[in-house]
Amino acid sequence: MSTSHIDIKGVGKVFAAGGREVVALKDIELHIPNGQFVCLLGPSGCGKSTLLNAVAGFALPSSGTITAHGKLVTAPGPERGMVFQEYALFPWMTVEKNVAFGLEIKGATAPEIERIVARLLDTLGLAEFRQRFPKDLSGGMRQRVAIARVLAMDSPIMLMDEPFGALDALTRRNLQDELLRIWAELKKTIIFVTHSIEEAIYLADRIVVMTYRPGTVKRDLMVELPRLRDPASPEFNALKRELGALVMEEQQRHHHDEMRSAAID
């Protein structure tokens, strides 16, 4: 067995959109070791969510292979838990039922489910909300439930698709700190998609900047700053400037592309 936990080898993805072929991903090569916190960073349309969905098994790549735990990814599975931007909680289930759902599918016993659910709700500060329905929770609380739901599966890999994108700045920072705490404690391998440069620097061990169409790896760098990171520090800001320039280049290409296709139409 190799030391990497997730191996993405020569992955490409082609979509047909409006009669034209769009190359969303091209020759992506990433090897992610156990316990690493990776952020995929780039403007919208750079294929970062496409790549995450491929690892999750929702939309398989057109070429290349993805292996997790040395096993080829062919379908979604609970060992690769996904946290969606839209929370995707089941609105007809209470908080505790949402968290217990995956365990029930797995066939865990009732006392075991109760023990795990109670511990997770406690960890995420949701204990007093366990009988509530999602509609009665704030966005931040909903995303906590979604994280608890994935943690309940004890997935070694967590895939997060702009999970904090819809939250206000304070709630967002709060959840980022919580996520870092959980990650440090449980040693998960995390792939986290974001378009926020600051969020990527604040969270990640490693940042993968992606190019706009075709989506390729533009830059793959390690963040060496000690945690918890101070967004006001000079080192943080130097990195932010560097990454900002990279992302902006891709953003420009995205912009030109949109102007051009508008001109064609």
Query: Which residues, including other chains, have CB under 8 Å from residue 154's CB and lie 6 or more apart?
Result: none
Is residue 165 close enough to count as binding other proteins by CB under 8 A?
Answer: no
Is residue 139 close enough to count as binding other proteins by CB under 8 A?
Answer: no
Instruction: Give the residue, chosen from 76, 139, 140, 244, that forms a contact with other proteins under the rule CB under 8 A.
Output: 76
At its nearest, how many Å lie between other proteins and the CB of residue 50?
A: 14
Could you give the dihedral angle defined by the CA atoms of residues 147, 149, 153 and 155, in that order, rounded to the nearest 10 degrees? -20
Residues 182-221 that bind other proteins (CB under 8 A): none
Contact region with other proteins (CB under 8 A), list: 2-10, 78-86, 174-182, 215-223: 78-86
At its nearest, how many Å lie between other proteins and the CB of residue 81?
A: 7
Is residue 153 close enough to count as binding other proteins by CB under 8 A?
Answer: yes
Query: Which residues, including other chains, have CB under 8 Å from residue 221's CB and lie 6 or more apart?
Result: 206, 207, 209
Structure tokens, 240: 């932010």
How many CB atoms neighbour CB 6 within 10 A? 23
Contact region with other proteins (CB under 8 A), list: 91-99, 165-173, 191-199, 242-250: 91-99
Q: How far apart are CA 210 and CA 41, in angstroms?
A: 6
Is residue 102 close enough to count as binding other proteins by CB under 8 A?
Answer: yes
Instruction: Quickly list DSSP for 199-232.
Output: HHHHH-SEEEEE-SSSB-EEEEEE--PPSSP-TT
* Sign of the torsion formed by the C-alpha atoms of 48, 69, 107 and 178: negative
Instruction: Give the residue, chosen from 35, 64, 77, 244, that forms a contact with other proteins under the rule CB under 8 A.
Output: 77
Is residue 47 close enough to count as binding other proteins by CB under 8 A?
Answer: no
Chain contacts with other proteins (rule: CB under 8 A):
56, 58, 75-78, 80-82, 84, 86, 88-94, 101-102, 105-106, 133-135, 149, 153
